Amino acid sequence: MKIGVDASVFVDPLTGIGNYSYHLLVSAASLMPGDEFVLFSNRPLSVDFNQNNISVCLVRNGIITTNNYLWKLIGLGLSAKKENVDIFWSTSGAPSIWHSMPVLLTIYDYVYRFEPTSMSWKSRIFRTISQSYWVKHAKKIFTISNAVANETRNFYSCEVDNVILPSTDKCFTPLNKIEIDEVKNKHNLTGNYNLIVGTLEPRKNIQVFLDVYIKLFSKYELPPLIMVGYKGWKNKDINQIIHYGEKLGCVKPLGYINNNDLPALYSGADIFFMPSKYEGFGMPILEARMCGTPVVCSNVPAMKESGGDAVFYHSSSREGITHALEEIYINKRKMISDKGKGIKWSWESGAEQLRELFIDTYKQ
């Protein structure tokens, strides 16, 4: 079986969707040594694939490849047809409008429905058209959470074929003081701190969270807030309040951090916060739990799947965030971590599910 893969999620430094697709692809390719995976991209990839049955088809000719939207709309499907792939895996959640081969669709979220203003108008239009079309025409569909599966059912009266929950790298585990201090020194960190990990974009609700955090910082003697995350989009106002908090000494942005340092930053944090207004799952919550870090996050349905029972949930509103911080720092709410208790899935078990979906898509 020759499987085409949308490699657009592997172009920029890997964040949630990229990490998810990368680990499932690598694990599935190991389970399927007799099958071929061809990754299609119009730009160089940020990661390497060192498996014999994974190859990269980098297409760089003409206007269709230089314009990302034309590539997504037309070029990706034409390139897959030219390479005679048997099926196509849409890792980005929004395939080309036209594909001549059976499509396996991954749905990560419905941002364009729940938080449309957090997207550019081009992305919103493309995703609205493409995802709506392929939910009805893809041969097989899987989501990354039961919450997104329920949303698919509500929006399209459509049952998905499977739910493959994200896992974490094996590096996400509680680290000792020496390992933590080494990474803290590398990034000029001292003393206690809280942590946020996430792309700087409106849906993450960072602006509202920081506004509350900065106001309560001196009043309740909160520790500094370390921020890790890719630059994102629509982030002018977010960057302004980050810079303001930085001047006050209560916010320290570190930018994008890879998995070499991230486990130590999680392990050393007093609390991990994730105040998003909407998520399809919430992989950083899982990473924090595995590192033994107490988690405080908004009560979005999908985030409850990644958070489990030990997490302190709050509404994503200003009032909800304020209440959570006051509960912790005024009422001295005891913060605990379950260290990943109850997590019984893995990338390997997810790859087993993905292999079955590839086979079923091919049979269609």
Mean pLDDT of 170-187: 95
Q: Check whether residue 186 and residue 308 sit in a common domain.
A: yes
Q: Check whether residue 183 and residue 302 sit in a common domain.
A: yes
Q: Which amino acid is present at 50?
A: N
* Least reliable range by pLDDT among 24-33, 126-135, 294-303, 355-364: 126-135
Q: Check whether residue 163 and residue 188 sit in a common domain.
A: no
215: CB partners within 8 A, 6+ apart: none
Burial class (CB in 10 A: 0-12, 13-18, 19+), 207: middle
What is the predicted pLDDT for the residue at 134? 86
What is the predicted pLDDT for the residue at 342? 79
> Considering its fold, how many domains does the chain have in total?
2
Q: Check whether residue 155 and residue 236 sit in a common domain.
A: no
Q: Check whether residue 190 and residue 287 sit in a common domain.
A: yes
In a domain, 234, yes or no: yes
Q: Which of the four pLDDT bands, split at 50, 70 and 90, describes residue 148?
A: very high
What is the predicted pLDDT for the residue at 123? 82
Residue 39 has pLDDT above 80, yes or no: yes
pLDDT in tens, 285-337: 999 999 999 999 999 999 999 998 889 999 999 999 999 999 999 988 888 88
Mean pLDDT of 106-116: 91
Q: Which of the four pLDDT bands, split at 50, 70 and 90, describes residue 157?
A: very high
Q: Which of the four pLDDT bands, split at 50, 70 and 90, describes residue 118?
A: confident
Mean pLDDT of 239-263: 91
- Domain containing 125 equals 2-167+345-363
In a domain, 101, yes or no: yes
Q: Which of the four pLDDT bands, split at 50, 70 and 90, describes residue 97?
A: confident
Residue 12 has pLDDT above 90, yes or no: no
Q: Check whether residue 279 and residue 132 sit in a common domain.
A: no
Q: Check whether residue 316 and residue 182 sit in a common domain.
A: yes
* Relative orientation angle of helices 318-329 and 206-217, to the nearest 10 degrees: 40
What is the predicted pLDDT for the residue at 213? 96
In a domain, 339, yes or no: no
What is the predicted pLDDT for the residue at 356? 96
Q: Check whether residue 285 and residue 349 sit in a common domain.
A: no
What is the predicted pLDDT for the residue at 2? 97
100: CB partners within 8 A, 6+ apart: 77, 81
Sheet containing strand 103-107, strands side by side: 54-58, 36-41, 2-6, 87-90, 103-107, 140-143, 162-163
Q: Which amino acid is present at 346?
A: S
In a domain, 172, yes or no: no
Q: Check whether residue 285 and residue 161 sit in a common domain.
A: no
Cβ contact 301:285 at 8 Å:
no
pLDDT in tens, 22-37: 999 999 999 999 999 9
Q: Check whether residue 323 and residue 351 sit in a common domain.
A: no
- Per-residue 3-state assignment (H helix, E strand, C coil) for the chain: CEEEEECHHHCCCCCHHHHHHHHHHHHHHHHCCCCEEEEEECCCCCCCCCCCCEEEEECCCCHHHHCHHHHHHHHHHHHHHHCCCCEEEECCCCCCCCCCCCEEEEECCCHHHHCHHHCCHHHHHHHHHHHHHHHHHCCEEEECCHHHHHHHHHHHCCCCCEECCCCCCCCCCCCCHHHHHHHHHHCCCCCCCEEEECCCCHHHCHHHHHHHHHHHHCCCCCCCEEEECCCCCCCHHHHHHHHHHHHHCCEEEEECCCCCCHHHHHHHCCCEEECCCCCCCCHHHHHHHHCCCCEEEECCHHHHHHHCCCCEEECCCHHHHHHHHHHHHCCCCCCCCCCCCCCCCCHHHHHHHHHHHHHHHHHC
**For 251, phi and psi rounded to 5 degrees?**
-135, 135
In a domain, 337, yes or no: no
What is the predicted pLDDT for the residue at 27? 96
Residue 64 has pLDDT above 80, yes or no: no
What is the predicted pLDDT for the residue at 45? 92
In a domain, 336, yes or no: no
Q: Up-side HSE of residue 32: CA atoms within 13 Å toward CB?
A: 24
The CATH number of the domain holding residue 315 is 3.40.50.2000
Beta bridge partners of 239: none
In a domain, 338, yes or no: no
Q: Check whether residue 249 and residue 163 sit in a common domain.
A: no
What's the mean per-residue pLDDT of the chain? 91
What is the predicted pLDDT for the residue at 291? 96
**For 104, phi and psi rounded to 5 degrees?**
-100, 120
Nearest to 123 by CA among 109, 105, 137, 135: 109
Q: Check whether residue 322 and residue 226 sit in a common domain.
A: yes
In a domain, 92, yes or no: yes
